[in-house]
Structure 1
Amino acid sequence: MASSSIKHDVTSNGDALRFGLDSVKREIVGSHPLESLRENSNTFWEDKKKMGLALTYGSSFNLRRDLDTQILARFQRPPGALPSSMLGLEALTGALDDFGFEDYLNLPQNSESFRPADMHHGMEVRLGISKGPVQPSFF
């Protein structure tokens, strides 16, 4: 018999005083329909682009490109004042040419509830010593 209860882990972020309490609404409410449509269209066009590159340059081109993407996605600055720009990854994927609304609207640095990063905690999370998000940006 199926259970109709909602699984909720109260201690998921580890430190309620530092990161706040988790909400059940965030787990129940899904993403906006336009957001899922945008993600689906992005994956569709990426698959089409990969197929075109494989037909043009051969199947090994996509393997090399995937390896380069994995390498460039792992390169990041330590948490702190300067965020990682991921310039190499953006150049490889062609994201430098795209200018979306997220590039100029709703920047977290412009928010009233923004708090600077705790570099000590960020390195603890990255090294696996502590749990929780690397940088909680909002109260």
Structure 2
Amino acid sequence: MQQQRALPHLTEPHDSLRLGVQTLKDKASVNHPVEAIEEQYPEKQEAFKMQMLRNLYGSGLPARTQLDKQILSKVRRLPGIPSSQLGLESYTGELDNFSVQSCIGFPGEGEAPGPDMHSVMEAQLKMGTKPLKRTIF
């Protein structure tokens, strides 16, 4: 039997001109127990690995590993330009894992252009959602 998808409620208006067309069906999530297990697997595996390193080498090595991951995860490009985070992927070993997401679904391959850099910065800095009125002289 197939699970019903839960549709979220629209709580605020969506700026379709800047962010593209959106539907509530895009945000629907499947409520299935296996999906929750699959989402929690990487975190549980990481916690198990850190506990193993802590038992073998003491608390210094896991602390240094976490610090390195924090430093590498903060490296980003300008807003509106997708960040690959190649350093973090090479440090964690995710470069060796090849999945469907590795070759399909890049943001730059879509037909519709993404939001411009100014809109993304306004959203990041919470400067407001009202678009600026432009006057033509």
TM-score under structure 1 normalisation? 0.66
1:30-109 aligned within 5 A: 30=30, 34-80=34-80, 82-109=81-108
Distance, in Å, in 2 between the alignment partners of 1:18 and 1:41 is 35
Superposed displacement of residue 70, structure 1: 1.9
Aligned residue pairs, count: 122
Q: Distance in 2 between matches of 1:97 and 1:66?
A: 20
How far apart in 1 are the matches of 2:98 and 2:89?
A: 12
Amino acid at match of 1:67: L
- Gap change, CA 1:7 and 1:46, over 3 Å in 2: closer
Pair 1:23 & 2:24 matched: yes
Which consecutive residues of structure 1, in runs of 5 or more, have no partner in the other structure?
1-5, 132-139
Instruction: Report how far residue 44 of structure 1 moved.
Output: 2.5
Contact 1:75/1:86, CA 8 A, preserved across alignment: yes
Amino acid in structure 2 at the alignment position of 1:84 = S
Asked if the contact 2:10/2:24 (under 8 Å) is kept, the reply is: no
In the alignment, structure 1 residue 120 sits paired with structure 2 residue 109? no
CA distance in structure 2 between the partners assigned to 1:124 and 1:42 by the alignment = 33
Larger Cα-atom Rg: 2
**Measured at CA, do residues 17 and 33 of structure 1 come closer, stay the same or move farther in structure 2, by a change above 3 Å?**
farther
Structure 1 residue 103, shift from structure 2 partner: 0.4
Q: 1:85 to 1:7 in 2, by over 3 A?
A: closer
Normalised by the length of structure 2, the TM-score is 0.66
The runs of at least 4 aligned residues of structure 1 exceeding 6 Å deviation read none
